[in-house]
Amino acid sequence: MQVILAQPRGFCAGVTRAIDIVERALARHGAPVHVFHEIVHNQWVVDDLRSRGAVFVQALDAVPDHAVVVFSAHGVSRQVMNQAQARGLRTIDATCPLVSKVHQQAQRFVRQGRTLLMIGHAGHEEVVGTMGQVDAPVHLVSSIDDVQALALPVDAALAYVTQTTLSLDDTRAIIGALLARFPDIVGPEVDGICYATQNRQVAVRALAAQVDLVLVVGARNSSNSNRLREVAARAGVPAYLVQDEHEIDPAWLRTAPRVGVTSGASTPELLVQRVVAALGVLHPDPLTPVVQLPGVREDVSFRLPAELALP
């Protein structure tokens, strides 16, 4: 049996920064440090930080007055920011800088007098946060059907932004439908997409071309991990999302001499290596040496908030 690893995979710079922020906040302020929503969408990461004193909350009402609270990598609405300020909470913003860039784009389009559309998944924390960053109505678009259902004049001055965990491939058809229906619509530059989302989807597509089965290691509530599984499946191979090694079904391996493994942008490499080790145990034949495909080498890094930067 051959195991082939995608490159790149796993943590992106925004996730690394968000986890670093919680760890440094714990070191500087001591436990507990409250975190608004999961810092990133991975239960292993959340449980590890919880064991060290992080307290994850779904509402600011659960945070004591004047306590330290970290906003997750997905970003929050202005309402949440204002509520934290009114409560006297000591806030640390772990919003991914690429998400913050989307917030700025949305605000700029609204200042220009354009009606804003958000391409993304309903209920996702990033979408909720972005839509709450502007003082104007925002129309959520998740599919081509949603485009056709928009009750807006065809000559309306519109603009769109996209959820960062969606790649160019994810949004191409929706953007095409918007452009076809609304001539006066503008959007962000192509180089404004999340590099990590696009790189991982390109990598898993290359991986799927060389294997009989793809395993994506990631949380079920991780948007980018779910998209990776969908990309592999569209490439014509069976593809499964597993949170860890315990979710591998041995039946998947019976007709898969070549197994590809990748992971979402919020998945620790430790979980990938556990999956690889489990494949060696579950398969009746010994593993040949694990191969890592060539791919983009990411060297992106983001600065920490000033209050947590090392002296």
Q: Does residue 110 fall inside a structural domain? A: yes
Kindly report the average pLDDT of the chain as a whole number: 94
Q: Tell me: do 237 and 269 sit in the same domain.
A: yes
Mean pLDDT of 7-27: 97
Number of domains in the chain: 3
The Cα–Cα gap between 213 and 195 comes to 25
| Predicted pLDDT of residue 20 | 97
Q: Tell me: do 82 and 115 sit in the same domain.
A: no
Q: Tell me: do 224 and 259 sit in the same domain.
A: yes
Q: Give the end of a domain, one of 97, 119, 146.
A: 97
Q: Tell me: do 78 and 116 sit in the same domain.
A: no
Q: Tell me: do 212 and 282 sit in the same domain.
A: yes
Beta strand 68-71 pairing with 90-93: parallel
| Predicted pLDDT of residue 162 | 95
Q: What is the pLDDT of residues 265-275, one digit of tens each?
A: 999 999 999 99
Q: Tell me: do 216 and 134 sit in the same domain.
A: no
State phi, psi for 229 to the nearest 5 degrees. -60, -40
Q: Tell me: do 82 and 109 sit in the same domain.
A: no
Mean pLDDT of 299-311: 86
**Which residues are bridge partners to 174 per DSSP?**
none
Mean pLDDT of 105-134: 97
Find the CATH number of the domain harbouring 205. Answer: 3.40.1010.20
Closest CA to 80 of 46, 110, 42, 36: 36
Question: How sure is the predictor about 170, in pLDDT bands with cuts at 50, 70 and 90?
Answer: confident
pLDDT over 60 (residue 191): no
Question: How sure is the predictor about 192, in pLDDT bands with cuts at 50, 70 and 90?
Answer: low
Angle (CA) 106-99-231 rounded to 5° is: 110
pLDDT over 90 (residue 169): no
Mean pLDDT of 211-231: 96
**Which residues are bridge partners to 160 per DSSP?**
117
Could you tell me the pTM of the whole model? 0.94
Mean pLDDT of 12-31: 97
Alpha-helix runs per DSSP H in 65-194? 78-86, 97-111, 125-131, 144-149, 168-181
Q: Does residue 297 fall inside a structural domain? A: no
Q: Does residue 310 fall inside a structural domain? A: no
DSSP H or E run through 118: strand 115-119
Q: Does residue 26 fall inside a structural domain? A: yes
Mean pLDDT of 39-52: 97
Q: Does residue 7 fall inside a structural domain? A: yes
Mean pLDDT of 171-199: 89
Mean pLDDT of 280-292: 83
| Predicted pLDDT of residue 273 | 97
**Helix orientation angle between 195-208 and 223-234, rounded to the nearest 10 degrees:** 30
Q: Does residue 256 fall inside a structural domain? A: yes
Share above pLDDT 70 across residues of the chain, in percent, rounded to a whole number: 98
Q: Does residue 184 fall inside a structural domain? A: yes
Q: Tell me: do 72 and 84 sit in the same domain.
A: yes
| Predicted pLDDT of residue 310 | 65
Q: How far, CA to CA in Å, does 126 sit from each of 6, 46, 135? A: 26, 18, 17
Q: Give the end of a domain, one of 147, 173, 193.
A: 193
Find the CATH number of the domain harbouring 50. Answer: 3.40.50.11270
Cis peptide before 97 (omega within 30 of 0): no
Beta carbons of 44 and 271 less than 8 angstroms apart: yes
81 secondary structure, DSSP code:
H
Beta carbons of 246 and 279 less than 8 angstroms apart: no
The Cα–Cα gap between 299 and 296 comes to 9
Q: How far, CA to CA in Å, does 243 sit from each of 22, 133, 162, 273? A: 22, 32, 26, 12
Q: Give the end of a domain, one of 44, 63, 97.
A: 97
Question: In the structure encoding, which two tokens stand for residue 309, read together?
Answer: 């930067």
Domain that includes residue 210, residue range: 2-11+195-292
Q: Does residue 302 fall inside a structural domain? A: no
Cα-Cα end-to-end distance for the chain? 50
pLDDT over 60 (residue 15): yes
Q: How far, CA to CA in Å, does 279 sit from each of 71, 134, 248, 253? A: 37, 47, 8, 8
Beta carbons of 77 and 128 less than 8 angstroms apart: yes
Catalytically active residues, by annotation: 126
| Predicted pLDDT of residue 189 | 75
Question: In the structure encoding, which two tokens stand for residue 308, read together?
Answer: 């947590």
Beta carbons of 130 and 101 less than 8 angstroms apart: no
